[in-house]
Structure 1
């Protein structure tokens, strides 16, 4: 954990056609990078899969950009859109 007890958090969003393995591959990748899932929500509308996760990224093993690139590559393989954004950027962009 960070020495100053503050958490650096990010939002992971996934959108695309439903298929086997989306949750498994995304969550395994987060675990490999030492990103802790704080909250997760997913919805299936017909065959449209949506997932949003709040993750703690203070102690990433290979850095934020490396995780982002790996998630994008997984998205390409699964033919879904995966985005990783710092929480503050996400909140500003979406005015939550």
Structure 2
């Protein structure tokens, strides 16, 4: 299953490293990452593949929710299908 991870908030050192570390430690493969910073505001969209992960998307969300609270950013995880359906015009 492919997922979309979005991260938004004030820029600080280590955001990408912390998010991708959780993914890598759980065999979630990053396929594409796009991030930008505008006036100190960080925005990232990451596409990843969970095919080889033994972790459920629910458990991954819980891990990233804890990180979100720890670093003070909004982190969301959705299956690619749900993300695409929600963003169609």
TM-score range, shorter chain: over 0.9
SS of the aligned residue for 2:68 comes to: helix
Which among 8, 21, 28 is matched to residue 15 of structure 1?
A: 8
**Could you list the runs of 5+ residues in structure 1 that have no partner in the other structure?**
1-7
How many equivalent pairs are there?
Answer: 89
- Normalising by structure 1, report the TM-score: 0.88
TM-score by length of 2: 0.95
**TM superposition outliers: structure 1 runs of 4+ over 4 Å:** none
1:28-57 Cα offsets, whole Å, 9 max, x none, are 000011100000000000110000000001
Q: What residue in structure 1 maps to residue 37 of structure 2?
A: 44
2:49 pairs, out of 44, 51, 56, with: 56
Q: Which runs of 5+ in 2 are unaligned?
A: none
Q: Does 2:20 correspond to 1:27? A: yes
